[in-house]
Amino acid sequence: MASVKLHPMNSKSTEDLLQMSADVHFSRLHVDGLEQRNLKSDKSNSLSNDDIQRQPFLIGVAGGAASGKKTVCDMIIEQLHDQRVVLVNQGSFYHDLNEEELSRVCEYNFDHPDAFDTEKLLCCLESLKHGRAVDIPHYDCKNYKNTLPPRKVNPSDVIILEGILVFHDPRVRNLMNMKIFVDTDADVRLSRRIQRDTVEKSRDIKMVLDQYSKFVKPAFDDFILPTKKHADIIIPRGGDNHVAIDLIVQHIRTKLGQHDLCKIYSNLYVIQSTFQIRGMHTLIRDVKTAKHDFIFYADRLIRLVVEQGLGHLPFVEKQVTTPTDSVYSGVEFCKRLCGISVIRSGESMENALRACCKGVKIGKILIHREGDKGQQLIYHNLPKDISNRHVLLLDPILGTGNSAVQAISLLLSKGVQEANIIFLNLISAPQGLHVVCKRFPRLKVVTSEIESGLSEDFRVLPGMGEFGDRYFGTDDG
């Protein structure tokens, strides 16, 4: 039987289900690897730790007028009833019309990007993203101007921005953690628009049709439809697509349950914390823990990280016959694999990898570290065919990320594909994660815990001291 190349279901199972659903798909999902593209690869490195801890999950919902965007948003909000969710409508940010524009309102194109005060919208979103309350304008669609009082909006867990052109400006787009495009047939959108404008806005049907042919349809073709390529998720049939809404809500709940850095970087994976894992971290972080206990519990945690990392490798489907003469449909592990340890702390992770992967090749990299600067590549011994292999890069502590960048850059210079590198850590500082995840968006980082930060002398906090010294018994104690 011919083998079919597949990839494992992992913590992003919702995306996988979305891709397989006939009614909803990720437009940027790579089937070879089931890798969703890095939604936040344009994120700035200037975010402080405090900013990160306050980051809400921002969803953009775009689509043509009367496509069902508001219905989709209402359904998401209804299912997220136990979360703080706020809805911001792009229509609240229309410019006020002056006297001349009011006298020729039938000639005004409300579907053009220039019709919106994008600067004010951007300011409001940035404030909400940083945990500050804002005043959202109240736009009167009958008088074509803002009226008082504005709507007070407090910081929330989830922000939903809805509007026809919310994907048009890259500055607004880059603030989003998820981008949804509601794709509805043009005839359906037109019939809904006629009903809405004649009933809710008291407009004449001829005026509605004239505006549609003159402004709405051309603007959709010229400005709205081209932004569809930026969507992470495309929903056909809008609010009628209950399967899509359910899966999106599952994905949002998963993201809300993750560390905030996982919302920013889709290539970052933190193993699910349990009391066992917290207990082991407590022991290896305790300065009073004896060497043999430190090694024992560090090895257990390392094994968990290695197993999690192996779960991101590709596999092939395979059928075998069991002793009961039955057929079992399973998978075969990736054979083109090697481990690369960063001397010397990384060598502590080699035994766990060997225990999981019989006969695995292991290479070494030595980088001299001097605080935050002065990293120098001293030595490397890599498999000759490393360019054809998946690589598990082993280093238990990720601090500033500078040494990691040098090690990864060496692997890339040897022909290793970035997407074939999995970087395994026990603990990781946010600063190092920003550096690595942003610079190498196709590489995966797997860690067991994310630390609070770095000290002035670049030590990971709260950390566990000099890992290599404690593990190999070369500390002063």
What is the CATH classification number for the domain harbouring 290? 3.40.50.2020
By mean pLDDT, which of 35-39, 102-106, 154-158, 410-414 is the weakest?
35-39
pLDDT exceeds 80 at position 21: no
> In this structure, what DSSP letter does residue 476 have?
-
In a domain, 296, yes or no: yes
Mean pLDDT of the chain, nearest integer: 84
Same structural domain for residues 161 and 274? no
Residues 429-464: b if buried by 16+ CB within 10 A, e if exposed = bbbbbbbbbbebbbbbbbbbbbbeebeeebebeebb
Cβ atoms of residues 233 and 18 within 8 Å: yes
In a domain, 22, yes or no: yes
Same structural domain for residues 125 and 234? yes
In a domain, 477, yes or no: no
| Cα(117)–Cα(106) distance, integer angstroms | 20
In a domain, 200, yes or no: yes
| Cα(339)–Cα(363) distance, integer angstroms | 6
Note the pLDDT of residue 476.
57
| Cα(334)–Cα(75) distance, integer angstroms | 41
| Cα(311)–Cα(444) distance, integer angstroms | 11
pLDDT exceeds 50 at position 23: no
Number of domains in the chain: 2
Where among 223, 258, 293 does a domain terminate? Answer: 258
DSSP string, 371-435: TTEEEEEEEEE--TTGGGSEEEEE-SEESSSHHHHHHHHHHHHTT--GGGEEEE-SEE-HHHHHH
Same structural domain for residues 274 and 242? no
pLDDT, one tens digit per residue, over 418-469 is: 999 999 999 999 999 999 999 999 999 999 999 988 998 889 999 999 999 9
Same structural domain for residues 204 and 345? no
Same structural domain for residues 33 and 56? yes
% of the chain at pLDDT higher than 70: 86
**Phi/psi at 425 (nearest 5 deg)?**
-130, 155
Compute how many other C-beta atoms are within 10 angstroms of the C-beta atom of residue 70.
18
* Strand positions, DSSP E, 144-191: 145-153, 158-162, 178-183
Q: From residue 239, how far is each of 64, 433, 474 by CA, in Å?
A: 14, 37, 63
Note the pLDDT of residue 364.
95
| Cα(343)–Cα(253) distance, integer angstroms | 39
In a domain, 263, yes or no: no
In this structure, what token pair is assigned to residue 11? Answer: 């913590």
Same structural domain for residues 137 and 162? yes
Q: Going by C-beta distance under 8 Å and a sequence separation of 6 or more, which residues neighbour residue 53?
A: 260
- Burial level of 147, CB count in 10 A (0-12/13-18/19+)? exposed
Q: Give me the mean pLDDT over the 98-115 stretch.
A: 90
Same structural domain for residues 446 and 409? yes
pLDDT, one tens digit per residue, over 317-348 is: 889 999 999 999 888 887 789 999 999 899 99
CA 26 to chain centre: 13
pLDDT exceeds 70 at position 16: no
Note the pLDDT of residue 36.
38
Note the pLDDT of residue 293.
95
Where among 258, 285, 304 does a domain terminate? Answer: 258
Q: 3-class DSSP state for residue 23?
A: coil
| Cα(73)–Cα(59) distance, integer angstroms | 10
Report which of 410, 417, 296, 309 is spatially closest to residue 348, judged by C-alpha positions: 296
In a domain, 182, yes or no: yes
pLDDT exceeds 60 at position 98: yes
In this structure, what token pair is assigned to residue 310? Answer: 């192996």
The owner of tokens 């959709």 is 220
Same structural domain for residues 17 and 91? yes
**Phi/psi at 3 (nearest 5 deg)?**
-80, 145
- Domain of 150 in residue numbering reads as 5-258
| Cα(477)–Cα(357) distance, integer angstroms | 34
Note the pLDDT of residue 127.
93
> In this structure, what DSSP letter does residue 92 have?
G
Note the pLDDT of residue 40.
39
| Cα(262)–Cα(265) distance, integer angstroms | 5
Note the pLDDT of residue 105.
85
Compute how many other C-beta atoms are within 10 angstroms of the C-beta atom of residue 167.
26
| Cα(395)–Cα(405) distance, integer angstroms | 12
Q: From residue 183, how far is each of 24, 115, 228 by CA, in Å?
A: 10, 23, 9
- Confidence band, pLDDT 50/70/90 cuts, at residue 81: confident
In a domain, 42, yes or no: yes
Report which of 23, 48, 21, 14 is spatially closest to residue 452, judged by C-alpha positions: 48
Report which of 214, 193, 227, 237 is spatially closest to residue 66, judged by C-alpha positions: 193
This prediction has a pTM of 0.53
Compute how many other C-beta atoms are within 10 angstroms of the C-beta atom of residue 355.
14
HEC profile for 379-395?
EEECCCCHHHCEEEEEC
In a domain, 79, yes or no: yes
Q: 3-class DSSP state for residue 2?
A: coil
Q: Give me the mean pLDDT over the 181-207 stretch.
A: 86
Same structural domain for residues 51 and 147? yes
Sign of CA dihedral 415, 418, 424, 425: positive
pLDDT exceeds 60 at position 35: no
- Confidence band, pLDDT 50/70/90 cuts, at residue 300: very high
Domain with residue 238: its CATH number is 3.40.50.300
